Structure 1
Amino acid sequence: MTVPPAPRAAAPWPRRVLAPLALAQFVCSFAGSNMNVMIKDISADLDTTVQGVQVAITVFLLVMAALMIPGGILTDRFGRKRCFVVGLAVYGVGALLSAAAPGLGVLILGNSILEGVGTALLIPPVYILTTLLFTEVADRARAFGAIMAMGGIGAAAGPLIGGLITWALSWRAAFVFQALVVVVIIGLSRRVHDPLPPDPECDVDTVGAVLSASGLVLVVMGILAADDNGWLTLGLVSAGALVLAAFFRWVRARERAGAQPLLPTVLFRDRTSNLGLITQHLQWLLLMGISFTVAAYLQVVRGYDAISTGVIFTASTAGLLVSSLGAQRFARRREQRSLVMAGFVTTVCGIGVLIGLAHGSPDVWLFTPGLLLIGLGLGVMLTPSVNIVQSSFPEDLQGEISGLSRSVSNLGSSVGTAVAGTILVADPAVGPYATALVVLAVAGLGGLAAAARLPHGPGQRPS
């Protein structure tokens, strides 16, 4: 009689490995949104304007977007764990410098440049290490879900946490808080090991990195200049488009020559992945654009302080948390395509409620329903969009697609802040407030159209 083999014990869920990776995504997303509730405090303390604070926020997000892909390439050359720790250290130095900033210039150096560079170094390893360390498909899906949920919660909870710290201490203490979190992550990262050795001979496409970063910077800076000079905006955006076109020609030329490009062109040939990247870009554009618009309106027009503004944003944080925690259960019942579509519909409905309030009652708590709907909608679709993109490529392209995915998302964040802020800072009254939200709602409808073109099928439902 044949004795059946003993069942294999399930591998334990490696919480120790996931904790520092998810926490790193949380603090970087937190940094992108917590300054929104400090607009009035920073402006007064550093003798600057709302537009000055907007520039600092946008440049931080832009530096992340521009350097995320080169940062991913450097992980192959110097090692994923090493880049992760170095990125954390640079980020921590930038946070401390921001906390001590005597003026806007030093704040931009610390927050926008150093924290942006640090994030571009540490975030690609988060996603590459997750792909390498979580080898089972189900475990990897859970890990990506947890990391994306922490990123979304960090962005949504940034106004509340930043408001509490600013109210209790000062806006400078919020940067000290970030530095302390970084120290904790560095300590926890001792449990993370890099399963692959670094490759010092890895060919880094420097020209491609410069072209891609320059093109993105020119486009976003053109958007920022829209309220000052329309011709300058047209010139910068056109120049950025030309530089990005040159980047793609350079990539194709390197591939034909047999050299390693910054990004392989195969990443742009998958229709499903391209649509997923569009939805990711627009999700973060909505999240950061709405956050900046509503926060600026509450502080500049309504005169609310940081804590009051942060408390009002609790509605969106709660909505995002609830829908993120239920994401795995939703995925077992619905296609990822359906979840992304439902997320955009819910978010656009939330924006509609906020637009109605611009001309309605002065009761600020009427912002709660709209923000709650927006949080629910974003939480439903953040993880499915990542799964759609990551699942479109094999193991050997996971590092490249992770870098591209994060760059596209961060570009969405910077464009959202730039577009909404440019409309609002011209005259942050009810009219521009409603206009900014209408523009964001149109972007949400564009995301819905892209999601509707995603394919049906069992491949769109994670196992």
Structure 2
Amino acid sequence: MTGAAPAPSADMRRGVLLPLALAQFICSFAGSNMNVMINDISKDLDTTVQGVQIAITIFLLVMAALMIPGGKVTDRYGRKRCFVAGLVVYGIGALLSAVSPGLGVLILGNSLLEGVGTALLIPPVYILTTLLFTDLTSRARAFGAIMALGGIGAAAGPLIGGLITSGLSWRAAFVFQALVIAAIILLSRRIDDPLPPDPDRPFDTQGAVLSAVGLILLVMGILAADNNLWLMTGLLLAGALFLTWFLRSARAKERAGEEPLLSPSLFRNRTSNLGLITQNIQWLVLMGTSFVVAAYLQVVRGYDAIQTGVIFTFATLGLLASSLAAERLAERRAQRTLVMAGFTLTTVGIVVLLALVSGSPGPWAFAPGLLLIGLGLGVMLTPSVNIVQSSFPEQQQGEISGLSRSVSNLGSSLGTAIAGTILVAGLTKGAYAAAMITIAFFCLLGLIAAALLPRNPTGTGPAA
């Protein structure tokens, strides 16, 4: 870090951490809780399951398209200002979703407004954390808390959403989101932006459009994996072409002395590139496991949303325990070692899950494997983020934060696509096992990427 930002007091940092962690929680919760409400929403709004799935897909597309520009505008308008603006937009979207009379209003509230709000508020979470928590120990603790609540939001979303939907209504789940957002806005009054906004900072509109179109096509291609191979291939190729165009445009602007939306120099950092790969795969594994196992439990085993959520509690507990131990782990082990250990533990968890579930009809056969998967994910989520964010100085935190969140969202989308493929395959036991083996294969790819990381990336921890 450059040291330009004043060192915040310990009390200030504690006051900042809670709203930032809660913001990551509610956004992760929103990404997974809708899956147990699809049937209720479709009946209430007189639409189809496919219509509600379209709303979920548009939410993913909006986030993917706007996350990089959302990270960049924080430099121009200020990190806290963008954080609060994102919260307000998100809260309005949640309230609109809660009172929606039809699918169109639900798409406006949930897919568009909540998607835009998420893209505005999530990059500042990681930028502010990096700027305010400057030493390894405090930053590991902060990212540990944020990633723990993010993982809990994703893993416990089906349980919380199922409880609210069964006890009250699916609309109450959106009211719950709005109430949490209101609490975060109140808590965020203690946040002070460590760097002043730069209103004269240029914004690359062409780059924003090219990157948005490229990422939209890429996510659409990933989500089309469950129904049309040719469509998937065409969309992925088109997305790759637009992103190539975007990078070529960024290089041209940089050579001309202009400021592009995303500096190509970000991709010249080998450590960050490997860290981004591990982030992508971690969220693929988290969301992929969540959707595949949840679908299997409900369709093959016949469990309801609450029973499914209770079984997932073991993954949530494992993730919480290891994420909250991030500070102690960072003091004793290199970040690279923790990421490798996380992928190893997660792979073992998948093997245990397959072995025990295939031999037992009882629900508790899922517990050991899910617990190990949760522990593994919790061990590596924090160091991966820390490695990437710590690879760049303060002036590039907006860019790398937006890129980091986009990469993670792409991983979540790919995990969703794997779950969709299982649904099309008919959710037989063989299809379920094949999906989990595929996720284990991605874990091994993540382990290889982690092994290629330097033993002690600058500023990220002890040598061993």
Above 0.5 in TM-score? yes
CA distance in 2, matches of 1:297, 1:52: 22
AA partner of residue 93 (structure 1): I
Aligned length: 455
Map 1:380-395 → 2, pairs under 5 A: 380-395=379-394
Report if the CA contact (8 A) 1:337-1:460 is conserved.
no
CA distance in 1, matches of 2:407, 2:321: 25
Number of the residue aligned with 2:421? 422
AA partner of residue 172 (structure 1): R
AA partner of residue 236 (structure 1): L
5+ residue gaps, structure 1 = 1-8
AA partner of residue 246 (structure 2): F
Report if the CA contact (8 A) 1:224-1:422 is conserved.
no
- SS for the counterpart of 2:359 is coil
Number of the residue aligned with 2:3? none
The alpha-carbon distance between structure 1 residues 10 and 74, as it changes in their structure 2 partners (threshold 3 A), is closer
Number of the residue aligned with 1:334? 333
Report if the CA contact (8 A) 1:343-1:377 is conserved.
yes
1:92, distance to aligned residue in structure 2 (A)? 0.9
Structure 1, residues 278-301: CA drift from partner, whole Å, max 9, x if none? 000100111111111112222233
Report if the CA contact (8 A) 1:25-1:147 is conserved.
yes
Number of the residue aligned with 2:5? none
State, as a whole percentage, how many aligned pairs show the same letter: 74
When the two chains are superposed, the root-mean-square deviation of aligned CA atoms in Å is 2.3
Return 43-52 or 107-116, whichever deviates more. 43-52
- SS for the counterpart of 2:37 is helix
Matched, 1:213 2:212: yes
The alpha-carbon distance between structure 1 residues 412 and 227, as it changes in their structure 2 partners (threshold 3 A), is closer
CA distance in 1, matches of 2:359, 2:51: 30
Number of the residue aligned with 1:5? none
AA partner of residue 140 (structure 1): R
Number of the residue aligned with 2:396? 397
CA distance in 2, matches of 1:13, 1:243: 43
Number of the residue aligned with 2:453? 454
Number of the residue aligned with 2:196? 197
AA partner of residue 206 (structure 2): V
Number of the residue aligned with 2:295? 296
CA distance in 2, matches of 1:210, 1:357: 48
1:133, distance to aligned residue in structure 2 (A)? 3.1
Map 1:144-293 → 2, pairs under 5 A: 144-293=143-292
The alpha-carbon distance between structure 1 residues 461 and 15, as it changes in their structure 2 partners (threshold 3 A), is closer
AA partner of residue 151 (structure 2): G
Return 159-168 or 138-147, whichever deviates more. 138-147
Matched, 1:107 2:109: no
CA distance in 2, matches of 1:74, 1:167: 40
CA distance in 2, matches of 1:316, 1:300: 20
1:137, distance to aligned residue in structure 2 (A)? 4.9
Report if the CA contact (8 A) 2:271-2:457 is conserved.
no
CA distance in 2, matches of 1:211, 1:228: 27
CA distance in 1, matches of 2:295, 2:49: 8
Report if the CA contact (8 A) 2:253-2:259 is conserved.
yes
AA partner of residue 286 (structure 2): L
Structure 1, residues 313-354: CA drift from partner, whole Å, max 9, x if none? 100000001111112212222221111111111112222233
CA distance in 2, matches of 1:100, 1:299: 28
- TM-score (normalizing by structure 2): 0.91
AA partner of residue 188 (structure 1): L
The alpha-carbon distance between structure 1 residues 396 and 258, as it changes in their structure 2 partners (threshold 3 A), is same
Report if the CA contact (8 A) 1:424-1:433 is conserved.
no
Number of the residue aligned with 1:134? 133
The alpha-carbon distance between structure 1 residues 267 and 183, as it changes in their structure 2 partners (threshold 3 A), is same
- SS for the counterpart of 1:346 is helix
Structure 1, residues 51-84: CA drift from partner, whole Å, max 9, x if none? 5544433432332232111011111222222211
1:386, distance to aligned residue in structure 2 (A)? 1.0
CA distance in 1, matches of 2:73, 2:403: 14
The alpha-carbon distance between structure 1 residues 374 and 38, as it changes in their structure 2 partners (threshold 3 A), is farther
- TM-score (normalizing by structure 1): 0.92
Report if the CA contact (8 A) 1:36-1:291 is conserved.
no
Number of the residue aligned with 1:88? 87
The alpha-carbon distance between structure 1 residues 316 and 222, as it changes in their structure 2 partners (threshold 3 A), is same
Return 22-31 or 192-201, whichever deviates more. 192-201
CA distance in 2, matches of 1:156, 1:13: 30
The alpha-carbon distance between structure 1 residues 105 and 295, as it changes in their structure 2 partners (threshold 3 A), is farther
AA partner of residue 221 (structure 1): M
1:103, distance to aligned residue in structure 2 (A)? 4.1
The alpha-carbon distance between structure 1 residues 270 and 458, as it changes in their structure 2 partners (threshold 3 A), is closer
Return 52-61 or 395-404, whichever deviates more. 52-61
CA distance in 1, matches of 2:299, 2:55: 17
- SS for the counterpart of 1:87 is helix
Report if the CA contact (8 A) 1:149-1:379 is conserved.
yes
Structure 1, residues 177-236: CA drift from partner, whole Å, max 9, x if none? 000000111111111122333322221111111111111111221222233332222111
Number of the residue aligned with 2:311? 312
